[in-house]
Every structure is written in C-alpha cells, then in structure tokens.
Structure 1
Amino acid sequence: MSDDISPTPKADPPTSNAEKDPDDWVTGDEEMTGAQASYLKTLKEEAGEQFDPGLSKADASKEIERLQEKTGRGAD
C-alpha cells in the first residue's frame, strides 16, 4: 500500500480542480478533455472567436473562464 494514501479522511477536504489555479494542475499540460472542448466550442461561437483544438487542459480552463465572463455564462 502506498504511503501517500491516507486511510482516514482529512479534516479539510482538498480543493477541487475548479478551485485550483490551472497552472498548478498536475495534468494541466495534457490535451483538453472532450467536455472542455465541447463547452469551449460553444463559448467561442457565442463570442465570435475561433476555436483552437490544440489547447491544454489548463489553457482550455483559462479560456473557458475568460469567455464565461465575456458571454455572461459564468457562475457568480
């Protein structure tokens, strides 16, 4: 059994990736997910911008956040 897996939950749950800075994501350099690509395409169309299919997960997340603000689709 690996030493870095705790059998008991910690008092403070870890923050989700949605709350972490995408630059700090361990998998941020990987290709964006299908869900990210789909949502990003929608946002890009609404914003009148060109979709870039070569973005990493981290860059796609940053673009989604930027476009949510631009299009008014962002969460409060």
Structure 2
Amino acid sequence: MADELHNPKLDAHPGSNTEKDPESWVSGDDPMTGAQASYLTTLCEEAGVDAPAEGLSKAEASKKIDALKAQLGRE
C-alpha cells in the first residue's frame, strides 16, 4: 500500500497562513481601504498622535496600524 500523504489539516498545531508580511502582499501597493483608514484614525486619536497623511498604501497603513497597536499595548 502506498504511503499516505501528509494532511496539514490534521496537525495538532498547524501553522497559520493568515499572516503575511505586508511587503509580500500582492495588493500591498493598492490604496488603503476605508476600514484601514477608519481604524488608523481611531488608533491615532487614542495614541494622541496626528493621523497620517492620506494616500497610504494598504501595506503602509497595515504597518502603521501594527505600530500603533503595539504602542497602545494591543498586540
């Protein structure tokens, strides 16, 4: 009988493919989404910093969101 193929769905602790470095995003250069802009504005207000200029890419917005979340202790 042939060896069975490994099925990662059956791993007790599967790795995550939901997190990628924003630099690797296919759509990273697209303009940030409305949701990103809204969340970024909220985080900036809570952190007491000026909101970033409009025109950020999805990847840039994601990095700023991550940085603000870390600053606010929300990782």
> Does TM-score exceed 0.5, indicating one fold?
yes
- Indicate the RMSD between aligned Cα atoms, in angstroms: 1.7
Counterpart secondary structure, 1:31 = coil
Where does the alignment leave 5 or more consecutive residues of structure 2 unmatched?
A: 1-6, 10-15
Q: Which structure: larger Rg?
A: 2
Instruction: Give the TM-score normalised by structure 1.
Output: 0.72
Question: Does residue 57 of structure 1 match 2:69?
Answer: no
Instruction: Give the TM-score normalised by structure 2.
Output: 0.73
Distance 1:61 1:12, change over 3 A: farther
Q: Percent identity among equivalent residues?
A: 56
CA distance in 1, matches of 2:48, 2:23: 26
Aligned residues: 62
The one-letter code matched in structure 2 to 1:67 is L
| Pairing 1:9-48 to 2, within 5 Å after superposition | 11-12=7-8, 15-16=17-18, 19-48=19-48
